Amino acid sequence: MKLSQKIIVGYYKTKLNSLAAVSPAKAAVAAFRLFCTPYHGKPKREVPPVFHKAAKISFVFNALTIRGFHWAPSHPSGKKVLICHGFDSCCYKFDTYVEPLLREGFDVFTFDAPGHGISDGTTINSLVYRDTIIEISRLFGPFDGIIAHSLAGLATSLAAEKLQLSQTRLVLIAPAVEASTAIDQFFRFIPLQQKIRTEFDQLIQTLGNQPVNWYSVTRAIQTFSTPVLWLHDKKDLVCPYSDTLPVQQLALPHIIFITTNGLGHSKIYRDAAIQKQVVDFISAK
């Protein structure tokens, strides 16, 4: 850990544990907000060339303006695909998927999630992202395919469950399989008192009327039958490969699982071979 990181971790550890001495519940609220805040904020990023060719689109949802892009193909197939980025990322990261999908005749849509890129807001969680995806589907869909990375993988799975999708082809790239794993990692990174964790879990229960373990791709993916391509790397340090093993053991017929070795959490979706597999799957008849 870098010195700057140690200073930041020390600051939040002291601040939140001190607040817990007065009110564990208030400390949990502050910890949850920190957990849901992208750590790089909204850095100004260079616009990839393909985005200059897109139509800019936006909508207001939960008092936030969500901004995105739409590309129309030269030879339309009548099909649509949605690309959803992960936590602390933005839609610009998926620029290399646009042209291959356009060549297959897809209308391509992508949006910056709340709290990311050029969209409004400062925080995100899987429920907010799920509901945003559902609203995007209502306004611009239905979609024949959804490509989702990291946190968007969990949010998309929850959206597919709620919408009871049966035909939309889903691509989950290094999804955040279990919310409980991400929370465990957060509490290891910033050592906080157990009473904060107890209140933290209770806060999640209160916000969504579901326990922490409900926020699970493993659970959600068993509730719908739409075709799924799941790609995950053995050396993923953000969303651990070990979390995928229970799903693989289920051998669900609607899931194609592909394991890579050495691409990690972010390189995996930038890999040319992976991109081809994704486009081929989305384009399958």
* 133 and 187 fall within a common domain: no
* 233 and 97 fall within a common domain: yes
* 141 and 75 fall within a common domain: yes
* 188 and 275 fall within a common domain: no
* Residue-level pLDDT at 7: 65
Span 118-160, pLDDT tens digits: 999 999 999 999 999 999 999 998 999 999 999 999 999 999 9
pLDDT at 1 over 90: no
User: With bands split at pLDDT 50, 70 and 90, how would you rate the model's confidence at 101?
Assistant: very high
CATH of the domain at 75: 3.40.50.1820
Span 51-76, pLDDT tens digits: 999 999 999 999 999 999 999 999 99
* Residue-level pLDDT at 20: 84
What CA–CA distance (Å, rounded) separates 34 from 106? Answer: 37
* 128 and 200 fall within a common domain: no
Assign 199 to helix, strand or coil.
Answer: helix
Which one of 187, 214, 241 terminates a domain? 214
* Residue-level pLDDT at 3: 52
Which one of 214, 238, 259 terminates a domain? 214
Please give the backbone phi and psi of residue 156, each rounded to the nearest 5 degrees, phi first.
-65, -40
pLDDT at 41 over 60: yes
CA atoms within 13 A on the CB side of 212: 15
> How many domains does the chain fold into?
2
Sheet containing 55-61: order of strands: 55-61, 64-71, 106-111, 79-84, 145-149, 169-173, 228-233, 255-260
Which one of 199, 214, 229 terminates a domain? 214
Percent of the chain residues past pLDDT 70, beyond the cut? 98
* 86 and 5 fall within a common domain: no
Length of the chain: 285
Domain hosting residue 4, numbered range: 1-35+179-214
User: With bands split at pLDDT 50, 70 and 90, how would you rate the model's confidence at 84?
Assistant: very high
* Residue-level pLDDT at 6: 66
Mean per-residue pLDDT for 191-209? Answer: 94
